[in-house]
Amino acid sequence: MTLVVDRDHGWELLRRMLRIRRFEEKCAELYSGGKIRGFLHLYIGEEAVAVGAIPCFSSEDAIVGTYREHGHALIRGTPMGPLMAELYGKANGCARGRGGSMHFFDAARRFYGGLAIVGGGLPVAVGLALADKMQQRRRVTACFFGDGAVAEGEFHESLNLAALWKLPVLFLCENNLYAMGTALGRHQSQTDIARKADAYAIPAEAVNGMDVLAVEAATREAVDFVRAGQGPYLLEYRTYRFRAHSMYDAELYRTKDEVARWKQRDPITLFQQQLRAEEFLTDADLDNMETAIAAEIAEAVSFAESGSWEPLEDLTKDLYTPAKPAG
Amino acid sequence: MNIPLTSDEIRQTVLRLLGEVAPEADLTALKPGVGFRDQLDIDSMDFLNFVILIHKTFGLEIPEADYPKYATLNGCVEQLSDKRAT
Amino acid sequence: MGKITYREAVRAGLREALQSNPRVFLMGEDVGKYGGTYACSKGFLDEFGPERIRDTPLSESTFVGAGIGAALGGMRPIVEVMTVNFSLLALDQIVNNAATIRHMSGGQFSIPLVVRMATGAGRQVAAQHSHSLEGWYAHIPGITVLAPATVTDARGMLLAALQEPDPVFIFEHAYLYPLEGELDESALPVDLTQAAVRRAGTNISLITFGGSLWKALEAADQLFHEGISAEVVDLRILRPLDISTVLASVRKTHRAVVIDEGWRTGSFAAEVSAQIMEVAFYDLDGPVARICSVEVPIPYPKHLEDAALPQPEKIVQAVHSLMGR
Amino acid sequence: MAEFVMPTLGSDMTEGTLVEWKKKLGDRVVKGDIIAEVDTEKAAIEIESFHTGVIEQLLAKPGERIPVGTVMAIIREVGTQATPAIQAPASPPPLQKVSPKEPVSPPPPPPPPMTAAVTEPGRLRISPAARKLASELGVDPAFVQGTGPGGAITLDDIQRSANARGERHEAGGQQPSAPLTTGPTPLASAGEGGDRQARMRQTIAAAMARSKREIPHYYLSTTIDMGRAMTWLKEENIKRPVTDRLLYGVLLIKAVALALRQVPELNALWKENAAIQSPAIHVGVAVSLRQGGLIAPAIHDTDKRSLGDLMSSFQDVVKRARAGTLRSSELSDPTITVTSLGEQGVETVFGVIYPPQVALVGFGKVVERPWVIEGQVVSRPVVTASLSADHRVTDGHRGGVFLSAIDRLLQEPGQL
């Protein structure tokens, strides 16, 4: 187990994970209250990945995500208010309310969103990296995808092209063991996802996705590799989602005790214990954190509640760039 | 399924049918209690056509003996309301 | 007869198919352990076993192509693509193999394949999960395209499709699954050649299919109370289109509104309108109106999604303007 | 002679650039020899000749862009006469494009359909179904007010205008006036509605004046017991659904038609100073047009038709008369006219004959009158039938026989 070097960094990692956890819990609550509609895919249990990985990228780098992207957007820096407003579908949402839970976008932070078709983001990430390479920009594109995506042709086509053209893209597989309702072993012949990268001569590594420090260390190393122009790299974060695939799911595909077993490896609980062991964390510290986070969430909710609906007349606005007439 | 029409809807329909028989007649000033033939330039041919339209629209068999009951707007509405209710 | 939900009707059709023919098997995303995204194959894994109820990886192109291959190889596959949104990844297999091989091989092979997928919007799941693209599929010669809108069609169309020697695509509007309806057992197995007049009328023909049928019927109800008698025609089959039933209706009413949840430009409604114009031109008392989706990616917020989709009020308005009211 | 043309070099390639000729004028070339090198966007390609012979002419020059299919050289096949050299014009003729695959530029996309915009001047906005109905009913759409989308004329508009059109004439007098002259009904003539009414009036006036001027009318009338007829009619109508019910007017028309069989002289037309009996009996029925004006279209072969058939054509004729959409033939050849003014309260009609007819029968209103049957005074519904006849053609005696024939016929309604 890697050691926490200094307290502030330890606090920052814990605070971020808690921030995601509480935000997602609030979402579940608001969903059942009918405030959030449509699909909602929660990130609870996988927080260590986003918290450990995303800060390794510079503000210049690009992030391409999936429909389970609340945590990524929060850590990337999009304020909680616009995210909550987007979940409400309000005009002050980060995509003006048009996308909802699966489609967060933030151009200022080069967050190319939630792209909700499984595997759909991979080719896009390869393209972003191609543009960087052709314009000699030392930037990295992070491409998050789930274990389900490795079954899509786009996964294999993207890895091949990225390797062929030595493109600065970092493939980040969040393997939470289930593609919606199908366990990894029932949809992959080769379940060691990192080994799939060998077929395309892409260096790859499996990482304990429940250990935020391990995620951070492995990701920092991979980012340096890619930023040095040595071509793509793949990390397989082995993690687990404690909640259903989405808010419509009876979880028939896994057993209760399996979930319970994984909860013993809750990344937040584990990290708290480590901080306490290294005397970096007291109950009071934790309470302060939780209070601050709760306040942030409350403010985000009121920001969303106070937001207005986009006027009907704007239905076709921004279908094309303004120079061209809409429609 | 035969949704029972309100009396106002029946009145509207009767006026519409009357308009088809006598398109240029001014139905706005029609007195509901007075016979059509006294207010409008309608002859027996027009009245027969009117009765035929009532028959087709409301699916009712109207014996000649009942013609007088359909001579006024009120008469028509009254006849058509209870008849449709059966 | 009795009231069942559209979902249960689909499941009953699937079960009967699986029970009646050992060559029939169901393949698709989460059809097994998960019981189907819309629970249309709930309990099937236990009842029929993993050999005939196959969960697939998320590889639409491959498992649809595999369905084609299995059909060529003598099986009777039913492939479930979760939604039409994900079927885009399999369009190459559908257009270039399923629809083409028979003709291109000079009639040597036939591909007895049924593909089912959900379609349509209305559940606020935003643009990438809310497409209505049946019209694209109805453009492809070599396949049959069905749009069951009623419980009876949902129950009967699959079985009828399994009698077809060539590929059949069944589009089940996602909004319909939970809705209850009257199952008419006497109509089984259903016919796959004719449109159906769901409500007779004399002043105007409302022509539609799939999920929009119920909006057309609601509009017809509103119009009835205004003294306008609207006839509602459910196309049921998009390819081959039964235009004669449509023309019989338009020749009677002289007016037509086509309702289609696809985007207006190049929609299936455009094709229906063109065929009406080409054949019943001299029976038309006004231009054929179309009520389609506004041409935008379907937005997540309810008020915008509702504004984008066809609605009964929009149908009624179109009828009013056509009738000069 | 064989032509060497630019071949297709790829499914998406429409033209190539000649890099260089590999053969000179007069050279022998064998099928399969490389004859030229052509450059496409993709690559430079050597092209073989498909003919064996001698190069007669080279029509293309290196560097020229040549569409697929264009003749580039002429090869005289071995053993054929050298053709006189085609005069190479001073400047190379533009290579005419013969390539069948020349994609014809698609016609410009049709302009988006104009919705409310007015179509170009003179072109009427009218629905196809309405245009068809207008021609069937003889209505001129130019004068119809459109209520459809964008002011377009609809079926209802045509139907409404047809129904209303008859009414646009100023109120005519009670006197039945002559039918309008023959030929297409003037109602359909162009011109404002107003002056059409005036013209209708003028025509009626001319006919009536001529009738009074030329025809020495004599008048007879008789009162007919309608008891049996009315009773029979009541029972008959009970048996009939509302759509097939009869009006008593039909009995009168049929009686007149059958009576004419007994007195055919009254069923004649006066032409060139002589009455020509008509082989067929077409009774013209005078139809009052609501805002005045009159028209008397014929019901063809009136005597040969059943009461039910007569009733439906009677209804049809009245409807079309009032819609101003009668066929011209119906106006031109009634052989006698019947007019019934009972509903207007008239007891006896002293009508004016419609030239060239020679008789007119009028009926008043049916009234209850004391009536003696077998010495008993009873109350009976009676009607006064009157005959106006042309004394040049018939005398009162024949007129009387005719009227009593009508009377007798009405006493056996079942036989009508």
Taking CB atoms and an 8 Å cutoff, what residues of chain C touch B3? 224-225
Give the model confidence (pLDDT) of C145-203 as tens digits. Answer: 999 999 999 999 999 999 999 999 999 999 999 999 999 999 998 999 999 999 999 99
User: How many domains does the structure of chain D reveal?
Assistant: 2
CA distance C129 to chain A (A): 8
**Other C-beta atoms within 10 Å of B37: how many?**
15
Q: What is the pLDDT of residue D102?
A: 36
Residue B2 is assigned to a structural domain of this protein = no
Nearest CB partner across the interface for B55, out of D242, D247, D249: D242
User: Could you give the 3-state DSSP secondary structure of residue C66?
Assistant: helix
Q: Are residues D207 and D343 in the same domain?
A: yes
Give the model confidence (pLDDT) of C179-191 as tens digits. Answer: 999 999 999 989 9
CA distance B58 to chain D (A): 13
Q: What is the DSSP letter of D146?
A: P
Exposed (0-12), middle (13-18) or buried (19+): which is A9, by Cβ within 10 Å?
middle
- C225 a catalytic residue: no
- The enclosing domain of B51 has a CATH number of 1.10.1200.10
CB–CB of B64 and D238 under 8 A? yes
Among the ranges given (C96-105, C216-225, D115-124), the one the predictor scored with the smallest mean pLDDT: D115-124
Give the model confidence (pLDDT) of A142-151 as tens digits. Answer: 999 999 999 9
CA distance C227 to chain B (A): 8
**A294-321 average pLDDT score:** 95
CB–CB of C300 and A103 under 8 A? yes
Q: For residue A282, what are the domain limits? A: 7-311
Q: Does B23 touch chain D (CB under 8 A)?
A: yes
Give the model confidence (pLDDT) of D12-64 as tens digits. Answer: 456 788 989 999 999 998 876 788 888 876 567 777 676 788 999 999 999 98
CB–CB of C86 and A117 under 8 A? yes
Q: What is the pLDDT of residue D195?
A: 54
Strand partners, D264: none
Exposed (0-12), middle (13-18) or buried (19+): which is D194, by Cβ within 10 Å?
exposed
Taking CB atoms and an 8 Å cutoff, what residues of chain D touch C251? none
Angle at A246 between CA A244 and CA A247, to 5 degrees: 90
Is the Cα torsion angle A236, A241, A245, A249 positive or negative in sign? positive
Neighbours of chain B (3+ CB pairs under 8 A): C, D
- The enclosing domain of A281 has a CATH number of 3.40.50.970
Taking CB atoms and an 8 Å cutoff, what residues of chain C touch A187? 55-58
Q: Is the pLDDT of residue A242 over 80?
A: yes
Tell me which of D48, D77, D106 is where a domain ends. D77
Residue D356 is assigned to a structural domain of this protein = yes
Q: For residue D314, what are the domain limits? A: 186-415
CA distance C65 to chain A (A): 13
CB–CB of A181 and C34 under 8 A? yes
Q: What is the DSSP letter of D227?
A: H
Q: Are residues D262 and D397 in the same domain?
A: yes
Q: How far apart are CA A302 and CA A309, in angstroms?
A: 15
Neighbours of chain D (3+ CB pairs under 8 A): B, C
Q: Are residues D190 and D71 in the same domain?
A: no
Residue B79 to residues A38, B68, D372: CA-CA distances in angstroms? 54, 11, 40
- The enclosing domain of D47 has a CATH number of 2.40.50.100
Is the Cα torsion angle A184, A188, A190, A194 positive or negative in sign? negative
- The residues, any chain, with a CB within 8 Å of residue A57's CB and separated by 6 or more, are A63, A140, A142, A223
How many Cβ pairs closer than 8 A exist between chain B and D?
Answer: 41
Q: Does D114 touch chain C (CB under 8 A)?
A: no
Residue A246's closest chain C neighbor by CA?
C37
Band of residue C263 on the pLDDT scale cut at 50, 70, 90: very high
- The residues, any chain, with a CB within 8 Å of residue A174's CB and separated by 6 or more, are A46, A49, A68, A144, A145, A146, A147, A209, A237, A239
Q: What is the pLDDT of residue D120?
A: 58
**Other C-beta atoms within 10 Å of D254: how many?**
24
Q: How far apart are CA A111 and CA A73, in angstroms?
A: 7
Taking CB atoms and an 8 Å cutoff, what residues of chain D touch C285? 127-130, 148, 154-155
CB–CB of C287 and D154 under 8 A? no
- How many CA atoms within 13 Å lie on the side-chain side of A97? 24
Residue B1 is assigned to a structural domain of this protein = no
Tell me which of D77, D111, D142 is where a domain ends. D77
How many Cβ pairs closer than 8 A exist between chain B and C?
Answer: 7
**Region of residue D298 (left: phi > 0; alpha: psi -120 to 50; beta: else):** beta
Q: Which CATH number fits domain C196-322: 3.40.50.300, 3.30.1360.200, 3.40.50.20, 3.40.50.920?
A: 3.40.50.920
- C320 a catalytic residue: no
CA distance B35 to chain D (A): 15
CB–CB of A181 and C57 under 8 A? no
Within 121-140 of D, beta carbons closer than 8 Å to C belong to: 127-130, 132
Band of residue A270 on the pLDDT scale cut at 50, 70, 90: very high
What angle in degrees, to the nearest 10, is found between the helix axes of D128-137 and D155-165?
20
CB–CB of B51 and D241 under 8 A? no
Taking CB atoms and an 8 Å cutoff, what residues of chain B touch C227? 9, 12-13, 16
Q: Does D177 touch chain C (CB under 8 A)?
A: no
Q: What is the pLDDT of residue A235?
A: 98
CA distance A321 to chain C (A): 13
Taking CB atoms and an 8 Å cutoff, what residues of chain C touch B16? 227
Kindly report the backbone phi and psi dihedral angles of residue C87, in degrees, each rounded to the nearest multiple of 5, phi listed first: -75, -15
Q: How far apart are CA A5 and CA A274, in angstroms?
A: 12
Which residue, chain included where needed, has tokens 């077993």?
A261
DSSP A209-277: TT-HHHHHHHHHHHHHHHHTT---EEEEEE---SS-SSTT---TTS-HHHHHHHHTT-HHHHHHHHHHH
Give the model confidence (pLDDT) of D55-71 as tens digits. Answer: 999 999 999 888 877 88
Give the model confidence (pLDDT) of A53-107 as tens digits. Answer: 999 999 999 999 999 999 999 999 999 999 999 999 999 999 999 999 999 999 9
Band of residue D89 on the pLDDT scale cut at 50, 70, 90: very low
Nearest to A63 by CA among A128, A159, A116: A128
What angle in degrees, to the nearest 10, is found between the helix axes of D396-411 and D227-239?
40
Q: Does D152 touch chain C (CB under 8 A)?
A: yes
For an interface test with A, the pick among C42, C44, C58, C62 (most A C-beta atoms closer than 10 Å) comes out as C58
**D259-265 average pLDDT score:** 91
User: How many domains does the structure of chain A reveal?
Assistant: 1
Residue C33's closest chain A neighbor by CA?
A253
Taking CB atoms and an 8 Å cutoff, what residues of chain D touch B43? 288, 343
User: How many domains does the structure of chain B reveal?
Assistant: 1
Tell me which of D23, D43, D77 is where a domain ends. D77
CB–CB of B55 and D249 under 8 A? no
Q: For residue B76, what are the domain limits? A: 7-85
Percent of chain B with pLDDT over 90: 0
Chains D and A touch (3+ CB pairs under 8 A): no
Q: Are residues D196 and D321 in the same domain?
A: yes
Nearest CB partner across the interface for B63, out of D163, D238, D247: D238
Taking CB atoms and an 8 Å cutoff, what residues of chain D touch C277? none
Contact D339, D363 (CB under 8 A): yes
Q: Does B64 touch chain D (CB under 8 A)?
A: yes
Q: Is the pLDDT of residue D360 over 70?
A: yes
For chain A, counts of helices (H) and of strands (E): 12, 8
Q: Does D237 touch chain B (CB under 8 A)?
A: yes
**D358-384 average pLDDT score:** 89
Residue A319 is assigned to a structural domain of this protein = no
Q: How far apart are CA A245 and CA A41, in angstroms?
A: 6
Q: Which CATH architecture describes the domain C2-187?
A: 3-Layer(aba) Sandwich (3.40)
Residue D277 is assigned to a structural domain of this protein = yes
Which residue, chain included where needed, has tokens 């569409």?
D67
Q: What is the pLDDT of residue C206?
A: 98
CA distance C196 to chain B (A): 18
CB–CB of C301 and A148 under 8 A? no
User: Could you give the 3-state DSSP secondary structure of residue D255?
Assistant: helix
Q: Is the pLDDT of residue D106 over 80?
A: no
| Encoded tokens for C38 | 């819309």
Distance from the Cα of residue A249 to its chain's centroid: 20
CB–CB of D247 and B22 under 8 A? no
Q: What is the pLDDT of residue B60?
A: 81
Residue D279 is assigned to a structural domain of this protein = yes
Percent of chain A with pLDDT over 90: 88
Residue A44 is assigned to a structural domain of this protein = yes
Kindly report the backbone phi and psi dihedral angles of residue C24, in degrees, each rounded to the nearest multiple of 5, phi listed first: -75, 135
Give the model confidence (pLDDT) of A297-310 as tens digits. Answer: 999 999 999 999 99
What angle in degrees, to the nearest 10, is found between the helix axes of C151-161 and C6-20?
20
**D218-246 average pLDDT score:** 88
Q: Does B16 touch chain D (CB under 8 A)?
A: no
Give the model confidence (pLDDT) of C33-88 as tens digits. Answer: 999 999 999 999 999 999 999 999 999 999 999 999 999 999 999 999 999 999 99
Q: What is the pLDDT of residue A251?
A: 81
Q: Is the pLDDT of residue A272 over 80?
A: yes
Among the ranges given (A112-126, A243-257, D286-300), the one the predictor scored with the smallest mean pLDDT: D286-300
Contact A103, A114 (CB under 8 A): yes
Q: Which secondary structure element, helix H or strand E, spans residue D300, and what is its range? A: none
Exposed (0-12), middle (13-18) or buried (19+): which is D318, by Cβ within 10 Å?
buried
Q: How far apart are CA D247 and CA D366, in angstroms?
A: 13
Q: Is the pLDDT of residue D96 over 80?
A: no
Q: What is the pLDDT of residue A276?
A: 94
**Catalytic member of C8, C29, C80, C129:** C129
ipTM for the whole complex:
0.59
Neighbours of chain A (3+ CB pairs under 8 A): C
Q: Does C266 touch chain D (CB under 8 A)?
A: no
Q: What is the DSSP letter of C32?
A: S
Band of residue C2 on the pLDDT scale cut at 50, 70, 90: confident
Q: Is the pLDDT of residue A161 over 60?
A: yes
Residue B49 is assigned to a structural domain of this protein = yes
Q: Does D63 touch chain C (CB under 8 A)?
A: no
Residue A88 is assigned to a structural domain of this protein = yes
Residue D163 is assigned to a structural domain of this protein = no
Q: Is the pLDDT of residue B86 over 70?
A: no
Q: How far apart are CA D206 and CA D212, in angstroms?
A: 10
| Encoded tokens for B81 | 């309301």
CA distance B22 to chain C (A): 20
CB–CB of B13 and C227 under 8 A? yes
- How many CA atoms within 13 Å lie on the side-chain side of D44? 8
User: Could you give the 3-state DSSP secondary structure of residue D7?
Assistant: coil
**Global confidence as pTM:** 0.62
Nearest CB partner across the interface for D315, out of B45, B55, B61: B45
**Catalytic member of C8, C29, C60, C271:** C60
Q: What is the pLDDT of residue A200?
A: 96
Q: What is the pLDDT of residue B4?
A: 64
Give the model confidence (pLDDT) of D166-204 as tens digits. Answer: 544 333 333 333 333 333 333 333 344 455 566 567 767
Taking CB atoms and an 8 Å cutoff, what residues of chain B touch C200? none
CB–CB of B41 and D290 under 8 A? yes
Residue D132's closest chain C neighbor by CA?
C282
Residue B58 is assigned to a structural domain of this protein = yes
